[in-house]
Amino acid sequence: MFDTGNTAFMLVATSLVMLMTPGLAFFYGGLVGRKNVLTIMMQSFVSMGWTTILWVTVGFTMCFGGDIGGIIGNGQYLFLHGITPQTAFASNAGIPMLVFVAYQMMFAIITPALITGAFADRIRFKAYLLFLTLWLLFVYFPLVHMVWGGGVLQQWGVLDFAGGIVVHASAGFAALASVFFVGKRKILSKPHSIPLVALGTALLWFGWYGFNAGSELRVDGITTIAFINSDIAASFAAITWLALAYIFEKKPKILGLLTGAVAGLAMITPAAGYVSLQTAMLIGVVASIAGYATITYKNRKGWDDALDVLGVHGVGGYIGIILLGLFASTQINPSGANGLLFGNASFFMKEFIAVTGVSIYAFLFTYAALWLINKITDVKYPADAEMNGLDEFEFAEEAYL
């Protein structure tokens, strides 16, 4: 009944995407101060538990259970009702529905965790749990339905191979809103462990093959090109960022290399299965130039996006969608579309309108949600907690004895 090759591949891809969230925890953990590392890592790891609970109870059906007005799914899969081991995913991939449930769940887990890098060292754990819940219910789940679950944007012809709109742009501009709401840190700590950042980058880069190549949901030629495009973009971006650091900071920086790689992976994500290898090279270069410029501008403006979520993920996802609208080609993927450079201005405008609208909505909802949560419980830490370290204050634990 099921295609064992595709099923096995998708189980591996699901495992790779799952690995990205611990990778993100290490990546962010190394970038904060040593007294705050557990706090930022906890925000990633708790999503693995709490988002799973939300996903299997209400999230999957909100994303993929029928349709209500093109905005959200209905309740047919509430608590995964009616999905058995024999239920097939409705495509020609030949995989069980439960494999698709698990694969998409890993996307849901990591997306809100991306935002936490922006408000590192400032948002209390209880407030974060409330924010995580609201953001999934009112931003992520509706976006998945609209773009991937048969909703209004998918019906309109918007394409997003693995999450430029759904994951990176939404998280990146939500991150910017959170920065404006919580303000600056009392102490601007330096990265306490670059080796942890390197470990996190390695796990993210490795897991991203499942993130992008797995989004084809089967093994074919598009799977292959999404896989290699991911590596090409990451590599070109890493070396470009290294060169930029050498030019403007007079030293090659390993943090720049690592950040560039993640920026390249973020920007290629929406286009991985729709563009040529040469376009992936260009996307890698653009990812680092755009990310570096955004971070430079952010620093001049004094925005305390602690771990540069806007520059890496927000701008990466946004420009990635724009470049998809330019360079998509049906010669690469017959199931995709031709971009502006291949004569399809309509597709380009749809991509531009979709990513712009989603970015604005994610920004506005995030700011409003944090305002509301602050009426229920304090969002920000007291000054003495910031000064003395959050791990001891929040969890009575220390990363390093």
Q: In whole angstroms, what is the distance from residue 9 CA to residue 27 CA? A: 26
For 154, phi then psi, to 5°, come to: -65, -40
C-alpha 83/C-alpha 117 separation (Å) is 36
Q: Tokens in use for 313?
A: 């993920």
Check whether 177 has a pLDDT greater than 90. Answer: yes
* pLDDT confidence tier of residue 189, bands split at 50, 70 and 90: confident
Q: Using one digit for the tens of pLDDT, what is the confidence trace for 6-21?
A: 999 999 999 999 999 9
On the question of pLDDT at 178 being above 90, the answer is yes
CATH class of 4-389: mainly alpha
**In whole numbers, what is the pLDDT of the chain averaged over residues?**
97
Q: Is the pLDDT of residue 29 over 90?
A: yes
- Between the alpha carbon of residue 97 and those of residues 2, 87, 207, the distances in Å are 10, 6, 22
Q: Would you say 362 and 170 are in contact if contact means Cβ atoms under 8 Å apart?
A: yes
Q: How far is CA 322 from CA 31, 169, 211, 315, in A?
A: 30, 11, 20, 10
pLDDT above 90 (res 399): yes
Alpha carbon distances (Å) from 87 to 66, 78, 82, 83, 95: 16, 15, 8, 6, 9
Q: In degrees rounded to 5, what are phi and psi of residue 123?
A: -100, 130
Which residues have C-beta within 8 Å of that of residue 135, sequence separation ≥ 6? 112, 115, 174, 365, 366, 369
Average pLDDT of the residues in 373-399: 94
pLDDT, mean of residues 28-44:
97
256: helix, strand or coil: helix
Q: Residue 147's closest CA among 168, 130, 133?
A: 168
What would the pLDDT profile of 290-334 be if each residue is shown by its tens digit? 999 999 999 999 999 999 999 999 999 999 999 999 999 999 999
